[in-house]
Amino acid sequence: MTVGQQRAWDEHWPKLGRTVGDLPDGKLDFAAWFGREAPVMLEIGSGMGETTSQLAAAAPELNYVAAEVYEPGLGQLMLRAEKLGVENLRLLHGDAVVLLTEHVEPASLHGVRLFFPDPWPKKKHHKRRIVQPSFAALVASRLAPGGTFHMATDWENYAEQMLEVCTGEPTLRNRHADEPGGWAPRPEWRPVTKFEQRADVEGRVSHDLVFERV
């Protein structure tokens, strides 16, 4: 970690962050942690926090939770949040599958966001991609009715896999099934990430998908 990222950990982690592996057994009380009742948005894989900090700042009405395995990324996210004066953000360091399975109440989340997850582009590694039928079922089970699962990727065959997997989950409905290909229009509120910029340079098209809990 950089000096700044370490400072952010030292100053802000005790209030803003928790480690998934150190959470007590049972469901996490988000209202108590945030100090208020509000819809909970979970972003899985916040990376270096560029997008996450802006999204949390733009939606103060949400209790925004970011889950990430990369410690320097969480440090950078805390620095960005500090600069933007974000108050509605909490961070979880560790495996999002463990978090969802063991520490999130069923039907409790307002939404789940998964933007540009590791594409594992080689075919032999596709099984390592996070969006698999069991994961879609897990996310769906944690969404409140009407809650959304919003994904974005710049890898065409991963986008197609996401579409196939989530279409096959009976408790999810594609909000944009009537759009060409079933893709969601790119939302203006989602900042352009460095991954998306690189994809554009390399000639890859980014796709958004938004599924709703029925």
Two tokens at 174? 């594609």
Report how far residue 16's alpha carbon sits from residue 21's, in angstroms, rounded to the nearest whole number.
Answer: 16
Report how far residue 85's alpha carbon sits from residue 99's, in angstroms, rounded to the nearest whole number.
Answer: 27
Give yes or no: 118 in active site.
Answer: yes
Give bridge partners of residue 18 from the DSSP assignment: 92
How far is residue 181 from each of residues 88, 90, 156, 177, 178, measured CA to CA in Å?
Answer: 35, 35, 12, 8, 8
Evaluate whether 108 touches 42 at the Cβ level (below 8 Å).
no
The 3-state DSSP class for residue 186 equals coil
Phi, psi of 67 (to 5 degrees): -110, 130
**Of these residues, 10, 29, 118, 200, which one is catalytic?**
118
Phi, psi of 144 (to 5 degrees): -70, 155
Q: Which positions are annotated as active-site residues? A: 118
